[in-house]
Structure 1
Amino acid sequence: MHDADSVTARPSRRGRAARPLVVGAALVTVGLLYAVLVPGGAAGADGPQSDRIDEGRRLFAVGCSSCHGLHAEGGTNGEGRMAGPSLIGVGAAGVEFQVSTGRMPAAQPNAQIPQKPPVYNEQEIEALAAYVASLAVGPAVPASESYDVSKATQADVVRGGELFRTNCTACHNFAGRGGALPNGGYAPSLMNTTPRNMYLAMLTGPQQMPVFSDHVLFPEDKRAVIAYIVALQQQPDPGGFGLGRLGPVSEGLWGWLVGIGLLVVVAVWIGAKVPRVHRPRGRTPRT
């Protein structure tokens, strides 16, 4: 009886001991397969990308952390006011737009950060974008096909004009020449903006501009809007001076200030050239 119990107990002990061995062998096998198959494709991609992120971290610590915080969490000035917003989740596209247009780094935080020549070169901008993109998921820099309008048709331009007038004219006016906004802000003119920066702006919503993500405005719609703006940039002025294409108000003001003003100046000049009639001096007749 005792021998039978010991015989039946031995297989169960072997089974309990074999399970960890099987799991360990499976893990070792998977690790070996990963080591054999993955490094050949990942070494070339992750190595340079990791170096780029490290370079971007160094650049960020020197040129950006004073406002946005050491870890891009946002920062405040000595008075407790926000010096720079958090960059967690803005993605590489937001960094690309702000830094490539020279808006960042800003000289001082104002209601509107103007465009200026960029401080960083192309490689440094890519490094900064890679570092911020590594912090959290955000919009990526689009491929050139996304904003290439060289093959856009007239129908695309017309559809882009409809979308632009619906979504953009409240700030940029119907001619894309910009306009004033509340609290000291303004919508910049689009006449010198590149298609790449147009797409990045719609994708990231810089400053007071709303975000037109791919779920709000489809990529083909963004491309149509860009085609319309490019058509505005290339549109000639058959009548000569376009007066900014700001509409009848500016044209009427020009007519009053310049046209009527010139007429007044000419009238005064003509009046000054007319000889005056002098009455001869004589005695006053007695009555």
Structure 2
Amino acid sequence: MIRNSKKKHSTKKTGRRHPLATVALVAIGLLFTGAAYAGFSGTAAVADIDLQSQTTIDEGQKLFAANCATCHGMEGQGSAEGPSLIGTGAASTHFQVGTGRMPLAFQGPQGMIKPAQFTEEQTLKLAAFVASLGPGPAIPEARYLDGKGNVATGGELFRINCAMCHNVAGAGGALTEGKFAPPLHGVEAVHIYEAMITGPQNMPVFNDMNITPEEKRDVISYLQYMENTVSVGGFKLGSLGPVAEGLFIWVFGLGAVIALTVWVTARSN
């Protein structure tokens, strides 16, 4: 009886000290600790960035010299490979770099959207340096990006000013010479606002005299409403409009009718 008791106790004790269990606990602890630290430190670093600080501008200048000066010049004066950035403001840099359009992957009709090459902190530092070169549009205030504007007004403004290129549902569309208006689904509110005030590529500039900051907030609210609202009519086919929908019905609908007719005829024969 004594031997059996010792054996059971020994087995239980050995199970608690299994080396894999120890490694797993340590790995989980390190994972959660690292994630928490990274999230906290990253948020704090971005929140503490002062775009007017000379230290921030100097750090942005170093990033600019290493990654942008080849095309835009050491002082952002431009060259044969890239336009001048003097007077474009912080908003333009934050939009172009934050959406991955810059640095360019290749020369083409327009800059392509791709994963951002810089962190948000680095992007803000680059924006601070470019803003120091000359007055230009600033990064918008958070109160205009909350999506709580007037959706009806935003929809009317969007249909009048934007739908001819971006489609009434913000699904995007083709332009001339290989260019296109990108879809607006999934685009951050700050980048939509920045695009309106900087007019990237073929897009016109909508300054505060054309569309007020409150109206820009309404447009953003409309786009977010369109993106988050479920279509009551079923499959939206990408919201590309009546041409795409008519083509779908013509090809698949009429094709199904013809296939059914052939099948019924074959069965009768």
The 3 A distance-change label for structure 1 pair 273 and 216 is: same
The 3 A distance-change label for structure 1 pair 47 and 213 is: closer
Deviation of residue 134 (structure 1)? 0.7
Using the alignment, how far apart are the partners of 1:164 and 1:106 within structure 2? 29
Share of identical aligned residues, percent? 48
Q: Which residue of 2 aligns with 1:228?
A: 222
Supply the AA of the counterpart residue of 2:239. R
TM-score (norm 1): 0.73
Contact 1:84 1:109 in 2 (8 A): no
Using the alignment, how far apart are the partners of 2:66 and 2:144 within structure 1? 33
Matched ranges for 1:57-206 at <5 A: 57-76=61-80, 83-150=81-148, 152=149, 156-206=150-200
Using the alignment, how far apart are the partners of 2:111 and 2:225 within structure 1? 27
Pick aligned residue for 2:59 from 27, 50, 55 = 55
Using the alignment, how far apart are the partners of 1:47 and 1:235 within structure 2? 36
Contact 2:166 2:183 in 1 (8 A): yes
Deviation of residue 45 (structure 1)? 9.9
The 3 A distance-change label for structure 1 pair 45 and 52 is: closer
For the residue of structure 2 that corresponds to 1:177, the secondary structure is coil
Contact 1:91 1:133 in 2 (8 A): yes
Q: Deviations over 1:118-170 (max 9, x none)?
A: 000111111101111111111111110122223x3xxx111111111111111
The 3 A distance-change label for structure 1 pair 113 and 248 is: same
The 3 A distance-change label for structure 1 pair 138 and 65 is: same
Larger Rg: 1
Contact 2:52 2:128 in 1 (8 A): no
Using the alignment, how far apart are the partners of 2:141 and 2:49 within structure 1? 18
Using the alignment, how far apart are the partners of 2:193 and 2:121 within structure 1? 21
Cα RMSD of the aligned pairs, angstroms, is 2.0
Pick aligned residue for 2:243 from 245, 249, 259 = 249
Supply the AA of the counterpart residue of 1:239. G
If asked which structure has higher relative contact order (CA below 8 Å, sep 6+), I would say 2
Task: Give the aligned length.
Answer: 222
Pick aligned residue for 1:237 from 207, 223, 231 = 231
Using the alignment, how far apart are the partners of 1:87 and 1:133 within structure 2? 9
Pick aligned residue for 1:219 from 213, 216, 221 = 213
TM-score (norm 2): 0.77
For structure 1, the residue ranges without an aligned partner over 5 or more in a row are 1-43, 77-82, 276-287
Contact 1:103 1:116 in 2 (8 A): yes
For structure 2, the residue ranges without an aligned partner over 5 or more in a row are 1-47
Using the alignment, how far apart are the partners of 2:256 and 2:106 within structure 1? 44
Q: Deviations over 1:39-77 (max 9, x none)?
A: xxxxx999982121111111111111111122211121x
Q: Deviations over 1:5-49 (max 9, x none)?
A: xxxxxxxxxxxxxxxxxxxxxxxxxxxxxxxxxxxxxxx999982
Using the alignment, how far apart are the partners of 1:106 and 1:230 within structure 2? 28
